[in-house]
Amino acid sequence: MQSVKEVIVVEGRYDKNTLLQVVDAVVIETSGFGIFNDSQKQKLLRTIAEKRGLIILTDPDGAGFVIRNFIKSCIPAEQLKQAYVPDIPGKEKRKARPSREGKLGVEGMRAEILLNALKRAGATFEGEEADPNIEKVTKADLYRIGLAGREESAKKRAELIRSLDLPEHLSADALLNVVNAIMSREDFFSCAAHL
């Protein structure tokens, strides 16, 4: 089992239990929307982010993105990494019915999907260090190739998101974070050229 340096933030205890079967890491639960009114937990996340960095790993549904965006508003961007699981239809074994959006959450993901999500987010695994000199895709790049700020941008982003098997709720800024975490600049332009 690989050790992750950053602290990973998930929505609930089942997500935490699933993740701890995949990696050796400190995992903190938000208690779903409970994080919104829990000033002590918010302070804890800020402290931990400053010391070790945070990786946000929430479900790919609307609620997961609300929680993700709240945490992003509390923590400096340079202390955060974003891990995303793909949209996979289904329901978790312990649940009688699928979620409202019919997608698997973090707890329903296979180990290799979770590990891949962490790697794509740039998690620092024991014995590995991230390369700070990698050239990143910028907002200007998104605009230049029509993925932001243009009439058809939302449609083109949706196509790219589907082709990369990413959650459909990604904004242009979130897409930028994800592509910089999962691929090189050259790979991004290669994928975008096919739209």
Residue 129 within any structural domain of the chain: no
The dihedral sign for the CA sequence 179, 73, 53, 139: positive
Is 35 in contact with 41 (CB distance < 8 Å)? Answer: yes
Under the banding of pLDDT at 50, 70 and 90, the label for residue 7 is very high
Looking at the fold, whether 174 and 116 belong to one and the same domain comes out as no
Residue 132 within any structural domain of the chain: no
Q: What is the pLDDT of residue 6?
A: 93
Residue 154 is encoded by which pair of tokens? 């939302």
Under the banding of pLDDT at 50, 70 and 90, the label for residue 63 is very high
Q: How far from 124 is each of 4, 22, 107, CA to CA, in Å?
A: 6, 15, 22
Looking at the fold, whether 10 and 97 belong to one and the same domain comes out as yes
**Higher local confidence (pLDDT), 156 or 194:** 156
Question: Longest C-alpha distance within the chain, in Å?
Answer: 48
Looking at the fold, whether 62 and 101 belong to one and the same domain comes out as yes
Burial of 6 (0-12, 13-18, 19+ CB in 10 A): buried
Q: What is the pLDDT of residue 183?
A: 76
Residue 134 within any structural domain of the chain: no
The dihedral sign for the CA sequence 191, 90, 16, 80: positive
Q: What is the pLDDT of residue 184?
A: 81
Q: What is the pLDDT of residue 167?
A: 67
- pTM for the complete prediction? 0.72
Looking at the fold, whether 27 and 105 belong to one and the same domain comes out as yes
Task: Name which of 47-56, 76-85, 158-167, 172-181 the model is least confident about.
Answer: 172-181
Percent over 90 (pLDDT), the chain: 51
Looking at the fold, whether 99 and 186 belong to one and the same domain comes out as no
Q: What is the pLDDT of residue 131?
A: 57
Domain hosting 152: range is 139-192
**Higher local confidence (pLDDT), 181 or 93:** 93
- Average pLDDT of the chain, as a whole number: 88
Q: What is the pLDDT of residue 129?
A: 55
Looking at the fold, whether 94 and 31 belong to one and the same domain comes out as yes
Q: What is the pLDDT of residue 134?
A: 67
Q: What is the pLDDT of residue 180?
A: 72
Residue 49 within any structural domain of the chain: yes
Q: What is the pLDDT of residue 41?
A: 86
Under the banding of pLDDT at 50, 70 and 90, the label for residue 192 is confident
